[in-house]
Structure 1
Amino acid sequence: MTITSSDAVSYFATQLRFRTDAADVHAALESGTPGFTLLDSRGDVAWAQGRIPGALHLPTAEIARRGLDLLDPTLPVVTYCWGPGCDGATKAALAVAKLGFHVKEMIGGIEYWIREGFGVETDDGIVRRPADPLTSPTAGVTCDC
């Protein structure tokens, strides 16, 4: 089977419709008007360990039961979980989509949020680690991608 450039365009355009990354989410949150609800789909222990500032905590197992009460139907939802080795954000996105919301998955999860040097909220305040030079530029603002 031959894959055409039009197949590739369709595939990659679809990915961009349903996925975003930590840098884009961070930029949107920093704007003050992100235009979406950021949903942390991890459990209580993970949430207490640290979360993205401004995120709504709604574990995947509770989305079907509580999602309509907690999510704004006028806003799209961006889900995140631990990281690329975890499909929790995908499962959460599916659950949110089943409720009728437009939803995207934040690839890389909180792992790449932290690795890019963005702040994580704990009960004691915001914690920030230096950017990991293997995953994020350390001398510039963005990766220019």
Structure 2
Amino acid sequence: MSRLGARLAYVDARLDYEIDAVAAHDAVAASEAVLVDTRRLESWQHGHIAGARHLPKTEVASGLETLPRDRTLIVYGWGPGCNGATSTARVLLAAGLDVRELLGGYEYWVRNGFEVESAGVVSRQQPDPLVTAEA
């Protein structure tokens, strides 16, 4: 395979695996996907995507059986600088589950103005015009 062909295959694979916040929101709304928060408990309690399941990367092996197998699992961590979701996704994919990773993680979900939950209260912040088409 040529260098350009290898790069094209890599980009195609990324597009098949990664999902942005808008597409993830739509997939969850259509009941096609379930969001899975891979952060530690303290981070989850600070705030998480409303409706997400909590499965810290340290508990993946013991939590495999609790995950649905009839929908895509969209894993996420804090944001672009966090790879906890990537390591969780690897375990889930190896176990035969359909997994995608949320680009930008929790940070970009919030910045898009989608619903989050903290202390039992669901809220949303004003969308950041730098990441959304809304102004």
TM-score normalized by structure 2? 0.89
Please, what TM-score do these two structures have when normalized by structure 1? 0.83
Report the counterpart of residue 128 of structure 1 in structure 2. 124
Give me the CA root mean square deviation: 1.8
Q: What is the aligned partner in structure 2 of residue 114 from structure 1?
A: 110
Distance 2:120 2:102 in 1: 25
1:75 aligns with 2:71: yes
> How big is each residue's C-alpha offset from its partner over 1:35-60, in whole Å with a ceiling of 9 and x where there is no partner?
12211101111111111111111101
Match of 2:44 in 1: 47
Q: 1:79 and 1:73 mapped to 2: Cα distance?
A: 14
In structure 1, what residue type is equivalent to 2:11? F
Unaligned runs of 5+ in 2: none
In 1, Cα distance between the equivalents of 2:14 and 2:75? 15
Spell out, residue by residue over 1:9-59, the C-alpha distance to the aligned partner (whole angstroms, 9 max, x if none).
32222112211111111122233x2x1221110111111111111111110
Q: How does 1:1-145 map to 2 (within 5 A)?
A: 3-4=3-4, 6-31=5-30, 33=31, 35-68=32-65, 70-139=66-135
Runs of 4+ in 1 over 6 A off after TM superposition: none
C-alpha distance in 1 between matches for 2:26 and 2:33: 12
Contact 2:37 2:52 in 1 (8 A): yes
State the aligned residue count: 135
SS of 2:3 mapped into structure 1: coil
